[in-house]
Amino acid sequence: MLEQLREGSQQAFRQLYDRHSRQVAAFVYHLTHSAVDAEDILQETFLKLWTNREQLPAIVHPGNYIFIIARNKTLDHLRKISQQQRLVDHIWANISGVADALELQLDARESQALINQALSQLTEQQKNIFRLSRQEGLDHATIAAQLGLSRSRVKNVLVETLRFIRQYLAQHSVLLVLLLNYAGII
């Protein structure tokens, strides 16, 4: 039968296909878990057998040879899927990272906007003390010296200011207050 196949006999090819296609399809399906992929690989296997018929080596068991072709085609297919999945995972990780960063930036902008709204309702003295303490990182003694106030006055104004900001933010978002407290902003 292989001699006939080498000579281009379609009938010999049909007999090989009829004899081995079901087992090959089942074998490939078992490895891929996909009926569509199994059918494609089955077709590729027998196409390779037909297109390379003139170069067929001396084969004692044609079924084994067909299964080896199917196995190799299946492994190639699985490698390709694995590479595609790694690429998708990599792209998704990059997209997720960018999306998370953008979400954090938006949250930070919204938080800062609410804080700025709260600060706009403070007196000039409260604004100055808050700015010097929280934005410039100065201690109470330094702020008191710069503004000509006592340390206890600076501390009291800062406590009142922070209480006001917390209350203002609580009116707008309980969750935002928790996040800001956790981050150490207020």
Q: What is the DSSP string of 101-165?
A: HHHHHHHHHHHHHHHHHHHHTS-HHHHHHHIIIIIS---HHHHHHHHT--HHHHHHHHHHHHHHH
- Please determine, for residue 28, whether its predicted confidence score (pLDDT) is greater than 70: yes
Q: Which of 41-50, 105-114, 148-157, 161-170 has the lowest mean pLDDT?
A: 105-114
What is residue 89's predicted lDDT score, i.e. its pLDDT? Answer: 73
- Please determine, for residue 178, whether its predicted confidence score (pLDDT) is greater than 60: no
What is residue 81's predicted lDDT score, i.e. its pLDDT? Answer: 86
Question: Other C-beta atoms within 10 Å of 92: how many?
Answer: 10
- Please determine, for residue 175, whether its predicted confidence score (pLDDT) is greater than 70: no
Give CA separation, 85 vs 6, 30, 91, 186, in Å: 39, 20, 10, 44
- Please determine, for residue 177, whether its predicted confidence score (pLDDT) is greater than 70: no
pLDDT per residue as tens digits for the range 59-108? 888 889 999 999 999 999 999 988 888 777 767 766 655 556 656 666 66
Q: What 3-state DSSP class applies to 96?
A: helix
Q: What is the mean pLDDT of the chain?
A: 83
pTM exceeding 0.85: no
Give CA separation, 40 vs 2, 12, 28, 74, in Å: 24, 22, 10, 10
